[in-house]
Structure 1
């Protein structure tokens, strides 16, 4: 069979696809592959832009292993790891619960989101991995490990952002919280004003981010404040959402991408026009409805986690180089914050973090742009998102993650033959001990 990821930049042919329904069936697939010396890659929605999910021989798809297992009275929700985030959000909302923080896309599976280090924004809040309280992992030889802070604690610590390298996540238990609403405030702002005191801006309320439009001096600022559901909801009218989000936002980006492909010189003036079309809007709705945005156009992405104090200079230099190099960039650059955590391969491991994400249309060549951005981020110790494009290897990554060797030691213990590896993992972690 053939496989391609969401963006279309990762592909594989001639693969053996397995769709297990139970933990036992996952274990059987892995045991058989281990005995036969075949490599297995688990895959979720295929939303990663890097080669992390690219199969080489056997692909293990968890779309039939995606049910709710349990939801306790204190908000501990256990799901089969193939459940997509949008389904989990709906399940929790029906029962009066919510995840503490979310990214802006909810098409990923729970397993895929955790394995690549998915995060949202909020200076006081960690990524999805910080909400994990237990997990069940099927290792390369078919063994099933129940892991938590007290059961297999070393494996648990690493597997919260495990890259799919330690085993296949079968079930995950997350700590939800009582449902809450977000009071959203979105408005255009001059980039210079945002960068003047960036830390104050990004910590001005609970969840803050901004999107800078390359070729312009404007950005879209998004500030979301947590409020009780009982205080009342005032969501955007359906017609306004259809017009602003579907027609204007997704339509404008699609038009910019199409125009840039046909006549690249049109991108800067059209970007400037699009940035002036922004208007302020406010609303209050359930948290997952505000956190998540709809993306109707295809793109490729690189995201770097950098120290917060480096972001303003990084963006100023990126703006300067965009003009100097003649890049044509129709999709905004996104900036978010997250709190430090204790997960070995989390991009926020051990430090409060800012995330800067850059994008290009799916069918374009990002080599020069992404390479330049990666070099700028690397100068301040940037850590690439595991699911986004980058070309770093284990030698460099070991210098940027203080607990890198700890993770690799767990990988070598659980999968010494590299059954769960692929070319990407061989590069970023180093090949497993018995893989030639």
Structure 2
């Protein structure tokens, strides 16, 4: 049977930060058969699968046709005994977490944003933190890929294994990820402890802290000498929960983290000279807190202040030196940076285009307000990262091209060759993919 997809509607598309936009025709298939039909009806036009638009780079930017999986967002199967769950690519992490919690399951690690679709989060290498834990893509056990010819490939470690190896972090360049099978774990709790410490102390103890705490991260407000550390320790649910009360949650997460911070950012943009005293005041009033809650509630935070972001992965051992250089660059500049710098860690994995492929990794993420200039600050940090064979997050801003990326990803050429084989006409391409992978052919 030949299935067709209704003609799409024209629409303006923009990502969450507003730094990428396009006019395109939107297709909204439901089910794998309709995805296949949409691919076959593209007829030479570029067709870009797009998730929730939470990437800051141009990776998702559609040039002619946008393939939205908003209607392809269900659960195909869930096995509480094995922990294997198969979901459609358009399901959001937020919805997935809720469904897993109802079944007594959880993702073993998560980032701090849950608005992404499963397919989009995997395609860009989305990750959380934890020296013994991997990125979200390490939890993939199988996937279904619709290629440019309309073929449906079932990929796993035992079926189309050569494609599966690369498709776990695919940049959306190999085809449309229709379904994903994830390995989940029994639901667990996290005890979160947050403490403000001098940055020198944290950098001196960085390897110890990163290696001894299940999920470690810290935030440095530029122009200050202190950081906010976050320790998250895994605990059995049956040990009991001690969540923050409703009033404390509103005060910390809504009022301070969003409303007050939004006012600080707006003030800093109007009056740059106010940034340094505001940052120094903020770190003085940072308090310590400790609470225990379900893992997904501790991993995820709500971010309503819009920003642009660049993030690089470097060898974990290089983090203290690299962070000291970033701090020195900020101190020596005329920039006024109101957003904190975020530091996380991750275990090595075997996924060719994962930021943590083959090495223990630390991540430095820098931010500016959406709409604010970023070239000077991001460019200076990017040059520092280059000295440590830094790998940029695929979904965040960077300037590297295929030649530069081939020097830090040993299997970059093999990935590009697989892309050429599965999509020889560049159906799923856009300018970003041509820059980071090289043009088709």
Q: TM-score, normalised by structure 2?
A: 0.97
- Structure-1 residue corresponding to 2:21: 11
CA distance, structure 2, for counterparts of residue 252 and residue 381 of structure 1: 37
Q: Partners in 1 of 2:209 and 2:187 — Cα distance?
A: 26
| Pair 1:2-2:12 in alignment | yes
Aligned residues between the structures: 430
Residue of structure 1 in register with 2:263 after alignment: 255
The Cα offsets for residues 342-380 of structure 1, whole Å up to 9 and x where unpaired, read as 001000011110011000000101001001100100111
**Matching of residues 196-207 of structure 1 within 5 Å:** 196-207=204-215
Q: Tell me the CA shift for residue 204 of structure 1.
A: 2.4
What does residue 140 of structure 2 align with?
132
Question: How far did residue 189 of structure 1 move?
Answer: 1.0
Q: What runs of 5+ residues in structure 2 fail to find an aligned partner? A: 1-10
Deviation beyond 6 Å, 4+ runs, structure 1:
none
Counterpart for residue 62 of structure 2: 55
- 2:325 equivalent in structure 1: 317
Separation in 2 of the partners of 1:193 and 1:426? Answer: 43
The residue aligned with 2:286 is 278
What is the SS of the residue equivalent to 2:38? helix
Q: Post-superposition shift, 1:152?
A: 0.3
Q: SS of the residue aligned with 1:170?
A: strand
- Give the Cα–Cα distance (whole angstroms) in 1 for the partners of residues 365 and 46 of structure 2: 31
Match of 2:95? 87
- Summarize the alignment of residues 88-237 of structure 1 with structure 2, pairs less than 5 Å apart: 88-237=96-245
Does 2:311 correspond to 1:303?
yes
Q: Which residue of 1 aligns with 2:348?
A: 340
The CA deviation string for residues 291-343 of structure 1, in whole angstroms up to 9 with x for no partner, is: 01110100000000001121111111111111211111111000000000000
- Provide the residue aligned with 1:429 in structure 2: 437
Q: How far, CA to CA, are the matches of 1:389 and 1:8 in structure 2?
A: 13
Asked if the contact 1:252/1:274 (under 8 Å) is kept, the reply is no
The reply on whether 1:38 has 2:45 as its aligned counterpart is yes
1:122, distance to aligned residue in structure 2 (A): 0.2
Instruction: List runs of 5+ in structure 1 lacking aligned partners.
Output: none
> For residues 414 and 247 of structure 2, what CA distance do their matches in structure 1 show?
52
Note if 1:367 corresponds to 2:375. yes
**Structure 1 position 25 matched with structure 2 position 60:** no
TM-score w.r.t. the length of structure 1 is: 0.98
Q: Who is 2:249 aligned against?
A: 241
Q: Secondary structure at 1:120's aligned position in 2?
A: coil
How far apart, CA to CA, are the structure 1 residues paired with 2:321 and 2:189? 34
